[in-house]
Amino acid sequence: MKTALLKQVTSSYSTKIITACLFLFLNCHVGYGQNDFEKFSSLSSPPPPLMTELDACNGVFLTYALLGRVKEYPHVKNTSKQAWAFKAEASLTNVGDEEVQGWKMYVGFQHREILVSADGAVLTDAGDFPAEVGNGTTMVGSTATDLKTAIDTAGDIDQMSVRIQMKGTQFGLGAGATPMPKTIHLENDGFKCPAPSRRATRMFVCCRKDPKVKAKQAKKTKYPPRRKGDITIAYDVLQAFQNNYYAQVTIDNNHPLGRLDHWNLTWEWQKGEFIYSMKGAFARRRDPSECLYGLAGKFYKDMDFTNVATCQKKPTISDLPSERKEDEKVGKLPWCCRNGTVLPPIMDKNKARSMFQMQVFKIAPDTDNRTALTPPSKWNIDGVINPKYKCSAPVRVDPQVFPDPSGLSAISTAVASWQIVCNITKPKPQENRCCVSFSAFYNESAIPCNTCACGCDDTRKCSSRASPMLLPPDVLLVPFANRSVKARAWARLKHLHVPSKLPCGDNCPVSINWHVSSDHRDGWTARITLFNWEDYSFDDWFTAVQLRRTFEDFEDVYSFNGTRIPGLKTVFFEGLKGLNYLAGETNGTHANDPRVPGKQQSVISFSKKHIKDFDVTHDGFPTKVFFNGMECSLPPIRPAKSSGRKSSSISVIALVFTAFVTFLMI
């Protein structure tokens, strides 16, 4: 009895000590934050957690406090467009009895916030700072990735807690408002978080272990686990010396529609590093002056920088051409030297990866410690015609494991590893790289690509806002510069409106025509035609068509290979062997003939087994179209059925609707 009573008293006493320490710990920290933020308009100081709040929590205690904000320039009258600089602080404290490995905290920002810094954390779903986080963001630890317990640390608050100091910009709300996130919660598996409580400029929540949920028995890791993404980039340090190290960069394409052609990879060195030599790739600019006249030149006084791969702080790295693959000096690496082509795994798993190696030199003070390794930041990857990717900041992960080079059944590990995740983003209006036109057997007019679908540089002689003019289908084969006369003639013939200032072209390097060919009782057919308006060709091209209602009814394609992707309700098309080459634009037969685009075409057949009330004017057209992974611009309307074959114009209502659309077509 005495022993049990003694344990209870000791436990209560220990809890009070930890709570008091945490109170002082956070109280001191809040005071420091406010002094550092004196230029911001003063708000009431957010109090630290109360002892009752902590005592009631048996899990992970999360807080978010707004420390202050001040109006930014320019000062505008529109409140919703006024920018405010703000400073905030988030914290996580483990007051449970289980260690939390690889903590993940979600902050539901809602005021178009742009984070400029977040000391102590890395954003997993956004790029480098400044990062747009207006739809919320998830943070993981940059240095302290785990939250230990009081039991394992004798109540050491530094090991139990993590603090994140944030600075950024937010929009809207007046001077007297208190912009707070919608919510905060822990995203680790097996935890359940109620709605957070709020007091003035502070919100908090206690996330507890959910007894109904059995957390996945994941492999324990020292660092956050590797994440999934459309493209993942591994930055692995293979060897580390006093003043330099060898790194390997591996690019993996994981998305069925993702792709890179002639990829260019860019980043920014954080501590004055430079690339001395490379294998499997090359730097676009080799100018040694940035080393000679920079910090590297002062530190390495006897080094010859003329043969250095690149001295740029923000280098642009490209893949080597295939003819350099067996080069003893720069080649001889697996998955290298493919001229920057990374295919989707559905086409060829072996070609869904690219890799290169480099020797990186450091400068003081990191040369005093061979383990002082800092990966580059602000990663970005792009190509010719492929999806736009947005890359996260590098996150430290457990060292990569490789087969032992000796051939024995052993493994070797990297010195250190980081992971960068890049995800596909939807193109903004007039920033596409391909476009789609619609036509059908029941209407004589074709709906061309949207005005300025891929951007317009010069609009002095054309309108970037006018709706595209309907065309006879055969004119889609003619370059836009040669269409004006035929477009006007077609408009006169069909009594269509001609704007005073003709719409601009789409300016897309690739256009695709989707033509509904037939509609009968048991099925229907469509014809897809690809046009390449560039001087260069596309090897191993592919296109994909999303058909939300008719996906299950796809039967066959006759000149391409067709593969269903059920999860995306998309049919994937690629050229047959020997036809997987989309040629570039060529000259016409005669000197005065317009140039002729490269073209590929096939008929596609569908049944009507899985769809009721099929309407060809709606269900016969795709909801999304992709070329080499890039989402193409679609027309806002579809061809309408006319009362007779004579009239091929689209209804007046449809034309009025298109007046609100800011696109045009070939």
**pLDDT at site 219:** 60
Residue in this structure with the two tokens 């324990």, named with its chain if needed:
220
CA distance 329 to 333: 10
What average pLDDT score do residues 392-416 get?
A: 87
What one-letter code names the amino acid at 97? D
Residue 490's CB is within 10 A of a number of other CB atoms, namely 22
Per DSSP, the three-state class of 658 is helix
Can you give 492-550 as a three-state secondary structure string?
A: HHHCCCCCCCCECCCCCCEEEEEEEEEECCCEEEEEEEEEECCCCCEECCEEEEECCCC
pLDDT digits (tens, 9 = 90+) for 416-426: 999 999 999 98
Which domains are present in the chain? 51-209 (2.60.40.290), 231-424 (2.60.40.290), 434-632 (2.60.40.290)
Range with lowest mean pLDDT among 119-123, 202-206, 530-534: 119-123
**pLDDT at site 2:** 42
Residue in this structure with the two tokens 């009631």, named with its chain if needed:
56
pLDDT digits (tens, 9 = 90+) for 148-159: 999 999 989 999
Please give the model's pTM, rounded to 2 decimal places: 0.75
Residue 430's CB is within 10 A of a number of other CB atoms, namely 19
Evaluate whether 53 touches 204 at the Cβ level (below 8 Å).
yes
**pLDDT at site 237:** 97
Evaluate whether 468 touches 487 at the Cβ level (below 8 Å).
no
User: If residue 20 lies in a helix (H) or strand (E), which one and from where to where?
Assistant: helix 2-35
CA distance 647 to 151: 82
pLDDT digits (tens, 9 = 90+) for 444-480: 999 999 999 999 988 888 999 899 999 999 899 888 8
| Cis preceding linkage at 427, omega within 30 | no
